[in-house]
A and B are shown apart, each in its own frame.
Chain A
Amino acid sequence: MLWPLAGACLLIALLVRLRRTYSIIRVDGDSMAPALLDGDRILARRVPPSRLRRDQIAVVADRSSRDAGFVIKRIAALPGDRVPEIAKDVIADERVPEGRLVLLGDNASTSFDSRALGFFPISDVHAVTVRKVTALTPEEGES
């Protein structure tokens, strides 16, 4: 009698953990092409700032727009790293200060990123991408 209850509790705990740790993100736009295309869905995992690595693709809270969504960009430099030359349009610092990140889109000709917005706060990182998730139907790609 207790086993089914324990199993159900375990399943619920697993679901809660999954929902807290992972999210599915739909990519909107082409600034991460060719790695991620418009409409791609990706599995993203929440990680503490200490586990962020250069070249990871990060999902970051978007402070530049009013709809309080997310932007998805590649981590180009972490605290203490040299600021990449390409990002020095608006950043005068030689090194990335503590608590900040340089984020760049892969598609440099269109991306709206640290080249225009400067540093992003590391605390705004919501998750990093794990892998693409297949869209089973065209409708799912749209949702």
Chain B
Amino acid sequence: MKTIGMLADRALSWVVPAAKASAASCPFDGYYYWTRCYYNPGCGSGYEKTKRTCYCPPNGGCFWSKYPGRKCC
């Protein structure tokens, strides 16, 4: 059964067009964005925003660092 499935998949690969889709991690080391403004009574304006930065360590695998920075809006 498994062999039939693999053969069917191979046939499908010949017939159906192929493409690539990025299951994108954060894009590159150092990339960052600021969130929208959230309620924070500690700020004079009543709102603050936080910075999300992409870290890509040398051993591979990028990830978002959630709270590397925050400031009042």
Query: How far apart are B67's CB and chain A's nearest CB, in angstroms?
Result: 12
A136 touches B63 (CB 8 A): no
Given contacts A89-B35, A134-B5, A134-B9, whether A28 and B16 have CB atoms under 8 Å apart is: no
A: interface residue count bin: 35 or more
Encoded as 1 (CB less than 8 Å from any A CB) or 0, chain B from 57 to 69 comes to 0000111100000
Query: How far is A4 from B39 in the complex, measured between Cα atoms in Å?
Result: 72
Query: How far apart are B64's CB and chain A's nearest CB, in angstroms?
Result: 6
Closest to B17 in A: A23
Query: How far is A53 from B42 in the complex, measured between Cα atoms in Å?
Result: 41
B35 touches A26 (CB 8 A): no
Encoded as 1 (CB less than 8 Å from any B CB) or 0, chain A from 112 to 143 comes to 11011000000000000000011010001001
CB contacts under 8 Å to B, within A63-77, are 64-65, 69-73
Given contacts A22-B16, A23-B19, whether A91 and B36 have CB atoms under 8 Å apart is: yes
Closest 7 CB pairs of A and B: A29-B23, A70-B21, A72-B21, A110-B25, A89-B35, A112-B24, A32-B23
- Using a CB–CB cutoff of 8 Å, the interface residues on chain B facing chain A are 5-6, 9-10, 12-13, 15-27, 33, 35-36, 52, 61-64
- Using a CB–CB cutoff of 8 Å, the interface residues on chain A facing chain B are 15, 18-19, 22-33, 36, 38, 41, 43, 59, 62, 64-65, 69-73, 88-92, 105, 107, 109-113, 115-116, 133-134, 136, 140, 143
